[in-house]
A and B are shown apart, each in its own frame.
Chain A
Amino acid sequence: MEKLIDKIIPGYGYRVQKDRLNSDRAVRDKLSRELKKSYNSLKEISDLAYKDGRRDVLRHIKDLINTIDIFKNEIENASYGLSPLFKEDKVSDDALDRMVEFDIGLIDELEIITTAVDLVYDHVLKGETSDIILQMRKIKRNFDNLRNIFLDRTDFLIKDMAKGEGVESE
């Protein structure tokens, strides 16, 4: 699994202290970039819906776009460089494994969402739009799941690590 992440995010890894901040930054950049692509695709779909006068669909799409936009801003502006993960040299293997699990969950979910958005765009272009609202709702649910994983990861970095759960005593 780490190989897969290494392929998606070059230089990824938390074993060495100096690599940890860059790895976190790389994961967030990846999330931000991919979400930006999905945001753009959904924006084009909303434009098309607008042109075709499908205001019912437009409202669902814009709701998803707004959510993505807010989440993207949370990712890009999140600042938890004061987490013990980045300050302490000796961090437990369990904490490091937990971080990797968070990142794998984020990337997997992100790939599904971005691929699903691309498929929706393709179906729209084909005129197969009878269940688009249902699909938007499903994507919105996966997107919420993605955001929850990210928030859990944030909580782990800021709160759990600060409690000393992942730091090895001298």
Chain B
Amino acid sequence: MNKEPMFFRDEGEMGDVLDEAESLLEETRVLEEKVQAQIILVVEYYRYLEDVVSSQTNKKMVGEEIGGIKDEFTEMVNEWDEKKDQLKKKEEEITRQQQLILERETKIESQMENFEIEQKERISKELHKISQLSTNVEEQLNEVERIKNIIDNILSEDGESIEDKLFSKEDIEYLQLNYFSLMRSRLTSRGVVNPLTKEEYNKSAWEIDIANKEINARIIRGIIKKRVSVGFNIKFIVPEDEEGFIYRKIGKDVSDVITGFLQSNEDGKNSFNALVLISPTGWSEWIIDKVINIRNMNKCVYLVDLCERNIFFNSSDTKTKLFAKWFLPVSLEEEIENMVVNLEEDIKNGVLQFRVDKIALQYKIPRKIVISAFKEIVNNGKGEFILPDDGAKDVILVVR
């Protein structure tokens, strides 16, 4: 009898169990991956839940703490406000004190400025005084230097030259007397013609005024209204005394005098006037140059040099040249010769001894004229000198 199989009944095929196995394994693998992914998600969610729960718990705890912290914070804020107010008050106080300090500083600065200004003014005045003193000292030094230069100039020249140019006050006086005497004799002995009007006047028409150092010789016309027809103004000019020496030539000192003379026009256009300036020491080149170029219708200017016995004027002007001979001084040789004549006359009268100072005083002539006359007599073999070195009081001429 055939027994029915229990399992191997061949009721169907198995198919490809290997492919099925591969599929199952693949599905299993995919499932496992999905499960793994799900597990990861679940873990993450769990962690998230934990975080949420933890956060809520913390919030609750924080909420409880916040109340306390708020109170503490409020307390702290109040304390800070109080401290802030205190600081604000202190700041205001400091600001006020700073303001006071600033005001005082300003006041002190102002006082200092005023003090500085006063100091500066005082110093300025002192400086001004010092400057003035300095100027005075400088002027005095200049003056000293000028005198020193004059003395140096004098000392640098030789003795004879010094003797020729140096004049004593007495010499100057004698020169003036002699020249004025010469002028007076000429005026009183000569008539004159007005070169402008051609009017002639005899010698008695002169009106002569002799002052200290001036001669005014005028011929006056008119009865109701007097006017000068011809006028000579003769002035003797003495240079300033240089420490006892009369030496300096005259120059610009007289420019004002000349200008004033030329500008005056008191007596009208028909009045002829001459200004004669006499210098015992000579004239500077500057003033000579000015005078010799003066050209005026009715006025003439002359400079007389008694040292060199010379006269300066505008020689190209006819009328000036015409009147120059009126004021020409006596030459030195002529004067010495006159002195020799006088001495010889005295010798004839029995005088055997002459002393320079006495003769100069007697004849009112400068010493150098007397000495020149003595030399002339000695040179003629009529006498000899006794000098102060030989024991004489002054130079003496002894007649043989």
Contact = CB atoms under 8 A, between A and B. Distances in A.
Given A48-B6, A52-B6, A128 B11 contact: yes
A162 interface: no
Contacts of A52: 5-8
Nearest to B20: A119
Contacts of B18: 112, 116, 135, 138-139, 142
Interface residues of B, number: 20
Contacts, number: 82
**Is the contact region of chain B dominated by helix, strand, or loop, or is it mixed?**
loop
Contacts of A142: 18
B13 interface: yes
A27 B18 CA distance: 22
A131 to B, nearest CB: 4
B8 A138 contact: no
Interface residues of A, number: 29
A57 B8 contact: yes
Interface string B372-390: 0000000000000000000
A118 B17 CA distance: 9
Contacts of A125: 7
Contacts of A73: none
A129 B14 contact: yes
A129 B22 contact: no
A37 to B, nearest CB: 14
Contacts of A112: 18, 21-22, 25
B12 A115 contact: no
Interface string B1-37: 0010111111111111110111011000000000000
22 contacts: A52-B5, A53-B3, A112-B25, A115-B24, A115-B25, A116-B17, A119-B21, A119-B24, A123-B14, A124-B7, A126-B12, A127-B11, A127-B12, A128-B13, A129-B11, A129-B14, A130-B13, A132-B8, A132-B14, A135-B17, A138-B17, A139-B18
Interface of A: 48-49, 51-54, 57, 111-113, 115-116, 118-120, 123-132, 135, 138-139, 142
Given A119-B17, A119-B20, A138-B17, 16 more contacts: A53-B5, A54-B8, A112-B25, A115-B25, A116-B18, A119-B14, A120-B17, A123-B12, A123-B14, A124-B8, A126-B11, A127-B12, A130-B12, A130-B14, A131-B15, A139-B17
